[in-house]
Structure formats: C-alpha cells, structure tokens
C-alpha cells in the first residue's frame, strides 16, 4: 500500500530571505517531498500557506495518510478553520509529523494542549543526535548517533506533555540538550515531533535526516479506517445497557438526546 503524504510549508522564508532561497530554491516543502518520494512506498505532495485555504481542504486531508508540517514566521496566519480540520483528521486517524519550529504551530499546540515552549539560540552550532531506542521503527537503519554541522539550538525544558517515546536526544556545542524526537497518540492518530530543520541551514538535504523523515512517515501511518466522528459522545439508553439495570433518580436528558457541550 502506498502511503499518501502531504508536506505543508509556510513558503515565507524561501520567498523573502536570499540565504534560504539559495539553499531551498523550490522551497523546504518541496525538498522534503522529494526526499520522501525517494521511497517507492511513499507518494508525497505539497501545500503552502499562500495557496487558497492554505492548500488544505477536508477532501485533501481525507486522502492524506500522513501530514508533515513546517512553520515559523506565520503561525498566526494559519486559520482556525484549517487548524480544526487538521486536528480532527489526526483524532480520526491521520498521522502527523511536526518539524522544527512547528512546535509553536496552532495544530501542534492544540494537539498537545500545552505551551510547547523552549529555549533557543541561532549560532550555527554542531548538533549531535543520539538514539535512545535502537529498535524503534523511526530509527531503522541509523547509527547510534549522527551529527549536523550547523543547526539552531533548542534547549530544555520543552513544554510538552510526557511523550509515549523519546527516539532522539540532542546535544549542542553550547552545552544544552533537547529531546529531539518524541511520539504521542492523539485520538486515533500517531504524532511525531522532530527538532532539526532551521531554514538557514541545509538540514533537509542531509541523507540521515531524510531517512528519519521516511521512517517517520511509515511509523505514523495508520492503515485502519478513519473514525467517522472522533468527537462522538453518544447517550446510551438504559434499555441498551449490556447488563440489566433499573433506572434510579432523576436525569437531565431523555434517551437518545445529545448531551451538553
């Protein structure tokens, strides 16, 4: 089964910053999609902020198995309607991968229910990423550690909920450490956060980073059918209880009536 991936990018820095444009002449989103498409089991397309509806519709999300999200300069420009669509798709079973500064994106912060804050420094430092679980699917084919010669520093504490798994831990030249690869389950959807990817460095051209992204897409893919309504909260009538019960005391709602929200 081919995994259908959608790479969403702001496409802001690439159009406004000469350094970024030189590194990613077709945009970071296209560089990531090209890396994913090197795997014959993945078919990746792209969407950007400047497109109508940010390039995202319910129909497109319904045809997306895994969404990858990169944002930085324009988190606030992402509409609440698109944020709602993305979160509902994840709760329904779509996989989601949030990259680098997408820790502050609207969809990620809503899915995490947390501030998602951290410390940072932009100095082109060496980053050394260590595997914490050698047999994790996202780490398949990787050495015990790998290095990126130039990256932005992210430091702890990272204001996210406790993850299901920590796949990577980073060390930076300045001495900070950071949990750089974290997984969660949100509703029926698998979520992965991967830290590297500052726009002024060629991180997404790195072969090992590309391997991580392809592995992460495979891991995040949930082949089960999507939940039709991930927020459904049905009122179960007394007569349909699995064991016979006798109703006792007054109630607010009649059988079949929707509850309060």
| Average pLDDT of the residues in 65-74 | 97
Instruction: For residue 173, give every residue at least 6 positions away whose Cβ sits within 8 Å of its Cβ, in sequence order, or none.
Output: 125, 126
List the domains of the chain with CATH numbers: 3-117+178-220 (3.40.50.880)
The pLDDT assigned to 259 comes to 84
Residue 123 has, within 13 A of its CA and on its CB side, a CA count of: 12
Instruction: Give the H/E segment covering residue 16.
Output: helix 13-16
pLDDT for residue 24 is more than 90: yes
**Percent of the chain scoring above 90 in pLDDT:** 92
3-class SS of residue 194: strand
The pLDDT assigned to 197 comes to 98
Instruction: Give the H/E segment covering residue 178.
Output: strand 177-186
The confidence band for 261, taking pLDDT boundaries of 50, 70 and 90, is confident
CA distance 148 to 129: 8
The pLDDT assigned to 169 comes to 98
Instruction: For residue 96, give every residue at least 6 positions away whose Cβ sits within 8 Å of its Cβ, in sequence order, or none.
Output: 66, 67, 68, 69, 86, 90, 107, 111, 186, 189, 190, 191, 192, 220
Instruction: For residue 221, give every residue at least 6 positions away whose Cβ sits within 8 Å of its Cβ, in sequence order, or none.
Output: 3, 65, 66, 95, 190
Q: Compute the C-alpha angle 92/94/95, nearest 5°.
A: 135
Sign for the pseudo-dihedral over CA of 235, 239, 245, 251: positive
Q: Report the chain's mean pLDDT, rounded to a whole number.
A: 96
Each residue's pLDDT tens digit, 185-241: 999 999 999 999 999 999 999 999 999 999 999 999 999 999 999 999 999 999 999
Each residue's pLDDT tens digit, 90-143: 999 999 999 999 999 999 999 999 999 999 999 999 999 999 988 999 999 999
Whether pTM > 0.85 for this model: the answer is yes
CA distance 196 to 232: 36
| Average pLDDT of the residues in 27-54 | 97
- CB neighbours of residue 230 within 10 Å: 17
Place of tokens 């893919």: 221
The pLDDT assigned to 251 comes to 87
Region of 156 on the Ramachandran plot (φ > 0 left; ψ -120 to 50 alpha; else beta): beta
The confidence band for 258, taking pLDDT boundaries of 50, 70 and 90, is confident
Instruction: Give the H/E segment covering residue 9.
Output: strand 3-9
pLDDT for residue 7 is more than 90: yes
């Amino acid at each position: 089964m081919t995994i259908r991936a959608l790479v969403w990018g702001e496409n802001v820095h690439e159009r406004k910053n000469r350094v970024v444009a030189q590194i990613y002449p077709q945009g970071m989103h296209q560089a990531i999609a090209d890396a994913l498409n090197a795997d014959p089991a993945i078919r990746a397309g792209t969407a950007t902020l400047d497109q109508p509806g940010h390039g995202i519709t319910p129909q497109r999300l319904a045809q997306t198995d895994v969404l990858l999200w990169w944002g930085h300069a324009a988190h606030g420009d992402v509409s609440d309607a698109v944020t709602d669509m993305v979160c509902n798709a994840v709760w329904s079973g779509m996989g989601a991968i949030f990259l680098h500064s997408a820790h502050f994106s609207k969809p990620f912060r809503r899915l995490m229910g947390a501030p998602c804050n951290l410390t940072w420094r932009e100095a082109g430092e060496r980053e050394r990423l260590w595997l914490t679980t050698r047999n994790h699917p996202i780490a398949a084919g990787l050495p015990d550690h790998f290095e990126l010669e130039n990256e932005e520093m992210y430091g702890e504490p990272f204001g996210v909920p406790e993850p299901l798994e920590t796949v990577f831990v980073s060390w930076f030249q300045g001495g900070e450490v950071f949990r750089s690869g974290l997984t969660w389950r949100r509703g029926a959807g698998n979520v992965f956060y991967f830290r590297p990817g500052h726009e002024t460095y060629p991180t997404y051209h790195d072969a090992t980073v590309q391997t991580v992204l392809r592995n992460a897409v495979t891991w995040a893919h949930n082949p089960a059918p999507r939940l039709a309504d991930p927020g459904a909260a049905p009122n179960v009538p007394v007569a349909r209880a699995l064991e016979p019960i006798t109703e006792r005391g007054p109630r607010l709602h009649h059988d079949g009536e929707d509850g309060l929200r």
